[in-house]
A and B are shown apart, each in its own frame.
Chain A
Amino acid sequence: MKKRVVLDKKAIQRTITRITYEILEKNAGCTEMCLIGIRTRGVYLANRIQDKVKDVEGIGLPFGVLDITMYRDDISKLRWPEVKKTDISFDVNNMTVVLVDDVLHTGRTTRAAIDAIMDLGRPRKIQLAVLVDRGDRELPIHPDYAGIECPVNDDEEILVRMIEIDGKDEVVIVKTR
């Protein structure tokens, strides 16, 4: 399969560092703030942002894991997607929630994630951080923090690989046809 590397390991590190600084800049002091990663790779990204915040500010932000399967709008079209656990052990009421995902595309996953969080309480704000924004939105959703903007053709797919589950860090574009 032909692939084109958009971000390598170093570039991903730099991008995460920049996103972290942007989050800190926008939410000065980051009081009552938390990170929620969308399964699967959003969780690892959120984890790295959490580490970075600790390095820079010395603050350990509350961290949660969100599975959006139950909130998908295409559930009846899928052949039984596996439901995994959502693990958010803190109260999201009045929090600034930073949602973290790997790729933002149609915006449907984000919509589902927002609904899922709203069912857990009433956060003060929800912000969205993504590593890659590939454009082509189907809903009025916009990221607050985007690593790179990377529009691709219809016959291409963006793959985010993370060392925690894929064995290496990279963002690549592959031809699907």
Chain B
Amino acid sequence: MNWKRKDLLGIRDLSKEEIVFLLDTAESFKDISRREIKKVPTLRGKTVITLFYEPSTRTRTSFEIAAKRLSADTINISSSTSSSTKGESLKDTARNLQSMRPDAIVIRHGMPGAPHMLAGILDSSIINGGDGSHEHPTQALLDLFTMRDKKGRIEGLKVAIVGDIAHSRVARSNIFSLTNFGNEVICCGPPTMIPPHMETLGVKVEHDLKKAVKKADVIMMLRIQKERGGTSYIPSTKEYSTLYGLTKNHIDMAADDVIVMHPGPMNRGIEIADDVADGPSSVILDQVENGVAVRMAVLYLLVGGEA
């Protein structure tokens, strides 16, 4: 197929065909990270900037490694060390960066729609690395990649997404992609953490974790978003962990070959028990490994060819 996009702003915009093409491309890139020489010359001479206004370990490192393994040059900017602390607006920062002619800018910002605004004013490819509680498309892609790898399919699965659905961009992006492929998605969490009218997105809402995980093929755990005021929506983390913490018992209720996913960072002992996070059904570290391959594919498709 012919890939025509300049930017990756959300998974909601992508067709099934585009998603499958992206995952297939990522398949070819996965092997590179397992070789002794973990580098190909594909994006030689290209420049990728990561512009992060929110903290990140995985996503930024993953993008940087992905770019470097494709031989692109990478520059990391975080808000704490940038001129935004001197009062420069996002638009001005972006325009100044544009003048240095980067080929792609990966942006993470607390404000939903920030990448979309940049895409409208800049020539560089814009990749959404997470915008507020809105979308995190590369996370949804790496989750799909991991499901396809472990389950052999990304259709007809029963997926329970558990936790702070309201504040989670990971949940939102996964809901878009999973429902697009016709999976059964169950959102589970305390009523305060599930937005009203969730069902209009094509998902089921369940407040009882035991019911949500019953016969589930995939359980996707989310973290309490302390930075978005997450803890004020629950009486206590103790109570939350009693009602919504994933334990070995829940795994026994799910499908025999259930996989447990978590986008990280994990709050062990709150949303997920140690023996589940480190147990045989956990694919959490596979997600991280696959993240690099998926981001290589994204960078390759967005900036690899002629515009």
Using a CB–CB cutoff of 8 Å, the interface residues on chain A facing chain B are 67, 69-71, 75-86, 115-116, 119-121
Could you tell me if A83 and B29 are in contact, using CB atoms closer than 8 angstroms?
Answer: yes
Q: Mark B1-42, 1 if CB is under 8 A from A, else 0.
A: 011000000000000000000000101110100011101111
Q: Which residues of A have CB within 8 Å of B305?
A: 75-76, 78-81
Q: Which residues of B have CB within 8 Å of A84?
A: 28
Complex Cα gap A110–B39 (Å) = 19
Could you tell me if B300 and A83 are in contact, using CB atoms closer than 8 angstroms?
Answer: yes
B69 to chain A, nearest CB (A): 10
Could you tell me if B42 and A75 are in contact, using CB atoms closer than 8 angstroms?
Answer: yes
A67, A70, A79, A86: the one contacting B41 at CB < 8 Å is A70
Complex Cα gap A67–B42 (Å) = 13
Question: Could you list 16 examples of A-B contacts with CB < 8 Å?
Answer: A70-B40, A71-B42, A75-B305, A76-B45, A76-B304, A78-B305, A79-B2, A79-B305, A80-B300, A80-B304, A83-B25, A83-B29, A115-B41, A116-B40, A120-B36, A120-B37
Q: Mark B32-65, 1 if CB is under 8 A from A, else 0.
A: 0001110111100100000000000000000000
Q: Which residues of A have CB within 8 Å of B45?
A: 76
Taking residues whose C-beta sits less than 8 angstroms from the other chain, chain B's interface range is: 20 to 34
Could you tell me if B306 and A119 are in contact, using CB atoms closer than 8 angstroms?
Answer: no
Q: Which residues of B have CB within 8 Å of A120?
A: 35-37
**How many residue pairs at the A-B interface have CB separations less than 8 Å?**
51
Complex Cα gap A53–B40 (Å) = 32
Q: Is B243 an interface position by the 8 A CB rule?
A: no
Report the 4 A-B pairs with minimum CB-CB distance, sorted nearest first: A80-B305, A70-B40, A83-B28, A70-B42
Most buried by B among A67, A70, A77, A86: A70
Q: Which residues of B have CB within 8 Å of A69?
A: 42
Complex Cα gap A29–B142 (Å) = 47
Q: Which residues of B have CB within 8 Å of A83?
A: 25, 28-29, 300
Q: Which residues of B have CB within 8 Å of A81?
A: 305
Q: Is B301 an interface position by the 8 A CB rule?
A: yes
Complex Cα gap A38–B145 (Å) = 27
Complex Cα gap A70–B293 (Å) = 14
Complex Cα gap A176–B276 (Å) = 62
B214 to chain A, nearest CB (A): 38
Could you tell me if B28 and A86 are in contact, using CB atoms closer than 8 angstroms?
Answer: yes
Could you tell me if B28 and A121 are in contact, using CB atoms closer than 8 angstroms?
Answer: no
A89 to chain B, nearest CB (A): 10
